[in-house]
Amino acid sequence: MKFGKVSALALLLVFGVGTQAYATTFGPTTYSTFAADSPFASVPFSYFFLEDFDDHALNTLGVNVSPSVMTSANTGFNGSIIDQVGLPGGCAAGGLSVACDTLFGVGVLGFNFTFSAAALGSLPTHAGVVWTDGEGPTSFTAFATDGTTVVCSVGPVAIADGSFNGTTADDRFFGCSNPGGISRIFITNTSGGIEVDHLQYGREGDTVPGVPEPASLFLVVSGLVALAAARRCQGRG
């Protein structure tokens, strides 16, 4: 019976102690292509979406943006000032007939991207976006499943180069991973509107919430050994 009590306590400790999963913040890091520069490129996702806006719309599954603004820079601005990722000099002439675009907000200081667990099946564990243009310092925030608890935060950081002519040297990736899920991300700068590209989000395929980290597991095992020894001493007494 004494061994049974220790075994029951062992199960309680292993599954109830040291099970906190931690978020990881990314950025601001330079970015020119997804394969070369995204920290998500090698993650084994069960689902993943990369929205490059090249079809002039935000239409990937399970995400919407607010405030509600036009989703295409190419609908109202000359291609040469569109800060398309990896394309110095902006988009070629041709407007909507050209597969080249970004998400642009005139007079908008920030974009909220909100994810739908209902549409996706479960909230993403990873989410990020590339800031390509705007004025003033830039900030990025990611929120837990409740939509209000901050799990990742960056900035404000000064990355704007003062040019609106399709420059790419100041393009920066901001992102977050959180095993518990991400409900929304918010990116903003302080003036001059904002332009972003390469919105990306997905759920890590082998994510198992609540698995103890090695250090926590070591403490659990050490405690169990001490507890078993104490039990043996009590039995002998």
pLDDT for 218 equals 44
Q: What are the φ and ψ backbone dihedral angles of 215, each rounded to 5 degrees?
A: -65, -40
pLDDT for 11 equals 39
User: If you count DSSP H runs as helices and E runs as strands, how many of each does the chain have, helices first?
Assistant: 4, 9
Domains of the chain: 23-203 (2.60.120)
3-state class (DSSP) for residue 68: coil
29-43, 72-86, 120-134, 177-191: least confidently modelled range: 72-86
pLDDT digit string (tens) for 198-228? 999 999 986 544 444 444 444 444 554 455 5
Max Cα-Cα span within the chain: 89
Instruction: Look at the pTM and tell me if it is higher than 0.85.
Output: no
Distance from C-alpha of 129 to C-alpha of 175, rounded to nearest angstrom:
6
Task: Give the distance from CA 225 to its chain's centroid.
Answer: 40
pLDDT digit string (tens) for 171-181? 999 999 999 99
Distance from C-alpha of 161 to C-alpha of 134, rounded to nearest angstrom:
9
